[in-house]
Each structure stands twice: as structure tokens, then as C-alpha cells.
Structure 1
Amino acid sequence: MQKQEFLELYEAALRAAKSVKGVKNSPKVSRFVDARNRLKDAPTSLACEVVSKTSMGKGLSFLNDHKNPHIRSEGRLLRDLWMKILYASVASEIVDTEMKTRVTACDPSVVAVSVESAMFEKLGCFMGPHKAKYRSILFNMGDSNNPDLRRKVLIGEINGERLVTMERQEMGSEKIQKEVQRIKENARFKEESRMKILQSAYMIMT
């Protein structure tokens, strides 16, 4: 299987799921399941490359929210596969031997269940009032430019309870966090300069 075929299968699975409107099984549901099964059989090295360099994880929130119970169930299986692939991609990115050992010792399925349980307990169901928070977490966990968050979640440095309370900026990549910090420091410097000018002006006037 080539990279293009893998991506086309994933898109086919999403299209099939989006075309299913009711809760009953149909040929469209069967097409989704068939595409999902073929994705599952893809070589791990190929899946790892595609998942780590694209944002295919974004579509999982749609599958988790689907009205059709069969697609929701199959979507969870696809999510578990995605988590295992993310685990593999994180492990391959780490150079430090000790850190690689810690990541390798993790069970991504257990981590996925732990995070999902914390999300449900704190945020309720996927279609509830905190739907945007669910999407934010899934987006940041699947962001190809944010391997640091995935690593921290996998090794338990950030647990499920902590993850669901993090702000969007906190979940962002180190690059984004540094940029946010730079903006805050600039704003603080400008405010301090403004206050000094006001104080100087006041002293002159008095």
C-alpha cells in the first residue's frame, strides 16, 4: 500500500461516514467499515509516516459524534489504531535513550481509555455543551507539529484530568507557547513603560 492509497482510504472512510444519516445499517456503513478494515491492515511504517505528518486525527471527533452506533463503534477502533500509531511516531522521534524507554513501556490503549474517561467525566458526552473543548483536545493531540504534547500524555507527565483543564495555548506546541510568552512579555514591557511615563509626567506637574 502506497501513501496516496492510504490517504484516499481514510478520505473514503470519512465520506462514507458523512453520507450516513440514520442509525440503521446500510451499504454506506459497509463501505465505511471496509475502508476502516483496509486502513487497519496498512504497514505500521506507512501509517506512522502519514499520521505524524498530517492532521488526519481531526476527523476522529466527527466519527465519535456520529448518530449511527455502528460507525461510532468502528470509529473508536480507528481511534485506538490512531493512538497506537501516534505512540509509534513519538517513539521514533525521541533520541534520548531513557525517554525512549519510558515511552516504549507505555500502553497507548490504556492511555487512550484513561484520557477518554477523564474527558467524559469532566466534559460530558461528545455532543454536549463542551463539544468545542473535545475538538480542541483532539486537534492538538493530532497536530503533526506538536509531538511534545503526545509524548507528555503518553508517559503520564500530563494525565487525562490535567489535559481536560488545559487552555488551548497550554496544549500548543513549544513554538506557539514561546510566541505567546513573547507577546505577553512585550505587552507587559509596554505597560510598564507607559506607567513610568505617566509617573514622570505626574512628578513634573507636581
Structure 2
Amino acid sequence: MQRREFLELFEAALRAAKSVKGSENSPEVWRFVDAMNRLKEAPKSLVCDVVCKTSMGKGREKSRDRETPVKIPTHSTMKKTGYSKRDKVREILQTSLAKVATEVVDTEMKTRVMTACDPWVVAVSVESAMFEKLGCFMGPQKAKYRSILFNMGDSNNPDLRRKVLIGEISGERLVKMEKDEMGSEKIQKEVQRIKERSRFKEESRMKMLLASADMIMT
């Protein structure tokens, strides 16, 4: 038996085995049995040669598969979701976060921002948190989206984007922050003054009411 004939019989046996439907008397079963009986007549040296070369071929294929480098996502693929609104939010966040490198004055912080903080990575993380907690941009939380994007890009609010970029404020926390919390330090101080003034007026009003009540009772 020649090598070519052996391979043809072997392939025929495989095809017959795959096409068996379960009946012991089916033509496929008899073709398989006939092919196997004829394969038994092949010399052992031929069988060993075919089996060894086939195994080596499969080994080389597996080796090539292992050697195939794993593709690591790049910024260009990572930043895209396939949804225009989400991608736009990521671009706006990245633009805002990229400002930090030119806004930071402290040398140590500037080095940290330039070497360890990637605006794109942070923008993707923040947008993902926004999408998970708030839903899509055009949904019921559109006003919240606008508030976050405005405060992140506000030229008078560099502290917020710096804290977000370096991880001091996570995307999950940013989503939960109120409008006053996201405001610039100047705005927060003004809000605090207004609250204190309002509390002082309320306390004064209560004191006057209590004093009036005491006068009536006496």
C-alpha cells in the first residue's frame, strides 16, 4: 500500500465516521468498517511515518498560534464605543483633562501629570462611569451630563479636572457630586458664604420670635 492510498483510505474512514446517523446497518457504517479493515493491511512503517508527520504539523501550527502576538488595544481603538454621543463625551472630557498639563505650576505635580496621567485613559473611565450611572446622553440625565462637562471644561475650575486626572476624584464620585461641589473653589466659597448668611438670618429670626414669645408670656 502506497502512502497516497493510505491517506485516501484514512480520509474516507473519517468522512464515513462523521456521517454515521446511529443505525448499525447504515451504508456509512459499512464504509467505515471497510476502510478500517483495509487500513489494517498497511505496513507499520507507513502508519508511523504518516502519524508522526501529521503530529509534527499540528505541533507547528500550535506553535505558530502561540507565537502570534496578542493585540493590545491602542488609544485609537480604546476611545471609540461606536456610539457618536458617547464618543463625543469622551472627546470633550479628554480635551478638558489635557489642559491640566499646562495649568499646573508645581514642578512635582507637573511631572506626575505629564508622566503618569493619561487624559484619554481617564476620559474613557469617567465616561464609562457616567454612562453606567446616568444612561445615555440624550436620556433623562442630560442636564447632569451638561453640568459635568461644563464644570470639567470651565476655565475657572482647574482644580476639578486636576483632581479627576490624578485620581483624587473618580468617575463614580464625580457622577454623584452636586453642582455646587463641582464648582470652582471661588464659587464654593461664595456658596458657603451665602449659606452662612442665610443661616445667620434664620437664627436671628428665631431669636426675635423667641424674644417676642417671652414678652407675651410675661
TM-score, length-normalised on structure 2? 0.56
Unaligned runs of 5+ in 2: 1-81
Separation in structure 1 between the aligned mates of residue 120 and residue 137 of structure 2, nearest angstrom: 19
What letter matches 1:126 in structure 2? F
Are residues 122 and 77 of structure 1, via their aligned partners in 2, closer, same or farther at CA, if it must alter by over 3 Å?
A: closer
Q: Is structure 2 residue 210 aligned with structure 1 residue 199?
A: yes
CA deviations over 1:96-125 (Å, ceiling 9, x no partner):
223223322201111011101101110111
Which residue of structure 1 aligns with residue 171 of structure 2?
160
Q: Is structure 2 residue 106 aligned with structure 1 residue 96?
A: yes
Residue 89 of structure 1 and its aligned partner are, at CA, apart by 2.4
Q: Is structure 2 residue 142 aligned with structure 1 residue 112?
A: no
- CA-based RMSD: 2.4
Which residue of structure 1 aligns with residue 154 of structure 2?
143
CA deviations over 1:156-198 (Å, ceiling 9, x no partner):
1110000111111111111111111111000000001111111
Separation in structure 2 between the aligned mates of residue 174 and residue 148 of structure 1, nearest angstrom: 8
Are residues 77 and 192 of structure 1, via their aligned partners in 2, closer, same or farther at CA, if it must alter by over 3 Å?
A: closer
TM-score, length-normalised on structure 1? 0.59
Identity %: 73
Are residues 154 and 124 of structure 1, via their aligned partners in 2, closer, same or farther at CA, if it must alter by over 3 Å?
A: same
Are residues 109 and 176 of structure 1, via their aligned partners in 2, closer, same or farther at CA, if it must alter by over 3 Å?
A: same
Which secondary structure state, in structure 1, belongs to the residue aligned with residue 176 of structure 2? coil
Residue 84 of structure 1 and its aligned partner are, at CA, apart by 4.8
Are 2:93 and 2:152, in contact at CA under 8 Å, matched by a contact in 1?
A: no
Are 2:93 and 2:149, in contact at CA under 8 Å, matched by a contact in 1?
A: no
Which residue of structure 2 aligns with residue 36 of structure 1?
none
Are residues 185 and 163 of structure 1, via their aligned partners in 2, closer, same or farther at CA, if it must alter by over 3 Å?
A: same
Which residue of structure 2 aligns with residue 24 of structure 1?
none
Are 2:98 and 2:119, in contact at CA under 8 Å, matched by a contact in 1?
A: no
Larger Rg, first or second structure (1 or 2): 2
Correspondence list, 1:119-138, <5 A: 119-138=130-149
What letter matches 1:94 in structure 2? V
Are residues 91 and 170 of structure 1, via their aligned partners in 2, closer, same or farther at CA, if it must alter by over 3 Å?
A: same
Unaligned runs of 5+ in 1: 1-68
Displacement over 6 Å in runs of 4+: none
- Aligned residue pairs, count: 136
What letter matches 1:101 in structure 2? T
* Aligned counterpart for 2:96 among listed residues 86, 97, 117: 86
